[in-house]
Amino acid sequence: MPYYRNEDYFLIQEEDIVKAAKELTEGMEMKSFTLPDLGEGLAESEIIEWHVDAGDTVELDQVVLTVETAKATVEVPAPYSGTIIRRFGNAGDVISIGSLLLEIEEKNHR
């Protein structure tokens, strides 16, 4: 079984590292959030402003970005709470309904 040295020179078995990683991520689930149909009959929206960055923690219904359609400016809320892992698109990008916006690591409530 391979051993690893950390900065304090303690020997750690590989299986201990895997076990610790599983414990840290237990109850976590990665979710993708796509641009929803904003109910205006329009297929595209322009990203005006992001209100979150990767690493931020968001709550359910917290505004994560502002988009603009040909008819209105809309604040888009988070569909669940968790940590932003990755953000897709930049201000000024035109995106379609169903385009990937965020990957959020959601903490399961068991």
pLDDT for the residue numbered 87: 95
pLDDT for the residue numbered 110: 44
Q: What does the pLDDT profile of the chain (110 residues) look like in tens digits?
A: 455 555 554 555 666 666 666 665 565 678 899 888 877 677 889 999 999 999 999 999 999 999 998 888 999 999 989 999 999 999 999 999 899 999 999 866 54
d(CA 78, CA 73): 17
pTM of the model: 0.69
69 within 8 A of 42, measured Cβ to Cβ? yes
Q: Which domains does the chain have, with CATH numbers?
A: 29-107 (2.40.50.100)
d(CA 9, CA 27): 31
pLDDT for the residue numbered 2: 52
pLDDT for the residue numbered 41: 76
* Sign of the CA dihedral running 69, 98, 81, 55: negative
